[in-house]
Amino acid sequence: MTPPAATPTLAYLVPEFPGQTHTFFWRELEALDAAGVDVDLLSTSPPTSGAGHPWRDAATARTSYLSRPSAADAGRAAGVLARAVGAGRLPAALRRAGGGVRERGVVLLAAAVLAARARARGWRHVHVHSSANSARVAMVAAALGDITYSVTLHGPLADYGPGQADKWRHAAFGLVITERLRVELAAALGEDLVERVRLAPMGIRLADTERSRPYEPWTGEGPALLFSCGRLNPAKGHDTLIRAVSVLVDAGVPVRLAIAGEDEQGGDGYRARLEGLIDELGMRAHVRLLGAVGEDVVRASLEEAHVFALASRGEPLGVAIMEAMGAAVPVVVGDGGGVRELVAPGTGLLVDPAEPRAIADAVRRLLMAPEEARAVGERARAHVRARFTSEASARVLADAVAELHGARRRVVGT
């Protein structure tokens, strides 16, 4: 593919990067790199904890943190603020910053560092993979300097704090990962936003779905291996899934469940409640909590699994589900949020995420029907490979930035 005459240059801002659930962002960034898009990787601050992803060190080394500016960036930020005062831009920036005096100062400083970095690196647009505080920083930076910004909505608008109307009104464009979220956004903020909001489903790198051996369903010999992946949070429904395992064990199915993911307190929070439930149900021999693990462990676990299960009560889309489907592992997942936009009929089983018995019945159905399990997995693999890739999401972002700045439209990937 011949590269275009002009390549959009942009900053890519992810809060607390790289975290345990951030593989998607790294893969999308790699897709942008592969297309020749010059990307400046930024984050608000390092994560308090995270998984040992193989790419973690490279990501950390590449990331510039707004909360830890270099002496040069701090000096340039002071210059940005001085110029904003002279140009009469500071009042608008302060209004956008909102909050109390201390909070406003923190946001203003981060925004000045962001605007200064734009001036030093020569980019004119920053894309923010959140509509929470990072989006507010970008909004204030746009008031201070000659830059534009955009945001991606990854879940229900209410999860991302106040000031959403301002963040979206001042944004050059927005991305949503599901049609459901686009409808919610329009209902909350007005139909006039729709023309500036594009659909950009999260995706996976196809190479990560390649198996070292074909999927093999459970034959009735040995334990039936279930795998689940998601941060340890009540919204993910791990408690319901553990209860479903108890139902299966009581029915004589030799199930072993492994759950990858950690809580927001690094193992000192919700994990303790799950450990207590495992002991209460007598499931210590049947359920393992793996903690925060790297993508290599996730991939190996998917290769071993007979069924992937996630009882999330409102998954916006579900990269973990996507990865399982891409690896041809049949999935049993909670019917909520935007999951129906991912799990099409015939590509997985949708269940009531609040009902352990319904989850157990769906898992047992796949375990007891090996040919159905294999067929469901193959259809899921084809579906994900056709529609949910990091290259596709990168293409939407790159095209939107190119059009915004009048650059020649480009196609990312092949």
Q: In tens digits, what is the pLDDT along the chain, a chain of 414 residues?
A: 334 334 458 999 999 999 888 999 999 999 999 999 999 999 999 987 666 788 999 999 999 999 999 999 999 999 999 999 999 999 999 999 988 889 999 999 999 999 999 999 999 999 999 999 999 999 999 999 889 999 999 999 999 999 999 999 999 999 999 999 999 999 998 876 767 899 999 999 989 889 999 999 999 999 999 999 999 999 999 999 999 999 999 999 999 999 999 998 878 899 999 999 999 999 999 999 999 998 889 999 999 999 999 999 888 999 999 999 999 999 999 999 999 999 999 999 999 999 999 999 999 999 999 999 999 999 999 999 999 999 999 999 999 999 988 743 333 333
Spatial distance between the Cα atoms of 286 and 282, rounded to a whole number of angstroms: 9
What is the per-residue pLDDT for 19?
A: 87
What is the per-residue pLDDT for 24?
A: 93
Q: What is the DSSP string of 135-189?
A: HHHHHHHHHHSS-EEEEEE-S-GGGG-S-HHHHHHHSSEEEESSHHHHHHHHHHH
Residues contacting residue 101 through CB under 8 Å, at least 6 positions apart: none
Structural domains of the chain, with CATH: 9-203+389-404 (3.40.50.2000), 210-387 (3.40.50.2000)
The residue behind tokens 């790294």 is 26
Quote the Cα angle for 176-177-180, to 5°.
80
pTM: 0.88
By the 10 Å C-beta count (0-12 exposed, 13-18 middle, 19+ buried), 39 is classed as: buried
Helix (H, G, I), strand (E, B) or coil at 260: strand
Q: Which of 25, 317, 316, 13 is nearest to 150 (CA)?
A: 13
Give strand pairing partners of 149.
126
The residue behind tokens 């809060």 is 15
Euclidean distance between the first and final Cα of the chain, in Å?
8
